Amino acid sequence: MAQNPATVQQLIVLNKHGEKLVGILHETGSMEIVVLCHGFRSSKETRTLSNLAVTLENEGISAFRFDFAGNGESEGSFQYGNYFREAEDLRSVIEHFTGAKRTIVAILGHSKGGNVVLLYASKYHDIHAVVNVSGRYDLKRGIEERLGKDFLERITKDGFIDVKSSMGEVNYRVTKESLMDRLNTDMHEACLSIDEGCRLLTVHGSTDEVIPVEDALAFAKIIPNHRLHIIEGADHRYSSHQAELASVVLPFVKECLQLAKDAPK
């Protein structure tokens, strides 16, 4: 348990485009830290990330949850795809903490954030533990639900699709370039590039209404050093299963923390 009371403070990190990424640091004084990443059109303030950060904080483990560029309080414009660009935002955050001589014990992402942490691990090989909470395996799925039928035909004709609310207001614009970014992001190929020494935990709800639980099973089949935990009855946001999610994530992080402490310097 933490010896000293934790402090919660805002911290700003510049990304490679000079944009301010706004985050909340749950500072316990530990040199080890866990970085938490949000999902699509979401933010660091989601119940899932906030609860996980407090769970880690209560165990004396520092945590940092932040907004990707174009989301929440961070600078930049929102883009529909941006998977690898968000992985670069995560890179900037990790470099900030490692530059301060801190150890990133794990990176965790929920939903699209799950994809981002996996892509990060496939490109950079400096993180030894990754937690994928309800990430999507097949990025070609789930598009029609948001953009409607014949989305490729319509976006090719007009160059963009405006996604509107039930009131007819434009929520966000999807450009052809950002759609192709998503369609060309191959999670299967990326996962094959993750180091075998990188420990990976995938958590998914059995009744996820946004991303089917089959995606979690697909990750489990192709990632070698992988642990899979299905939370029975949980939806995509873990609406009634926040405590159970924390009870799965925390032991994994503590295990990784102990391994990091025991590793030869």
- Pairing state of beta strands 62-66 and 20-27? antiparallel
pLDDT > 60? residue 4: no
Cα 227 to Cα 132, 220, 248: the distances in Å are 10, 7, 11
Are 160 and 175 in contact, with CB atoms under 8 Å apart? yes
Are 116 and 109 in contact, with CB atoms under 8 Å apart? yes
Token pair, residue 168, equals 């007819």
Token pair, residue 22, equals 């706004």
- The 10s digit of each residue's pLDDT in 114-159 is 999 999 999 999 999 999 999 999 999 999 988 988 999 999 999 9
What pLDDT sits at residue 1?
44
- The 10s digit of each residue's pLDDT in 5-61 is 789 999 999 999 999 999 999 999 999 999 999 999 999 999 999 999 999 999 999
What pLDDT sits at residue 260?
80
In angstroms, the first-to-last Cα distance of the chain is: 24
Q: What is the pTM of this model?
A: 0.95
pLDDT > 90? residue 221: yes
pLDDT > 50? residue 81: yes
- The 10s digit of each residue's pLDDT in 151-206 is 999 999 999 999 998 888 999 999 999 999 999 999 999 999 999 999 999 999 99
The torsion angles phi and psi of 7, rounded to 5 degrees, stand at -115, 150
Q: What is the DSSP letter of 109?
A: E
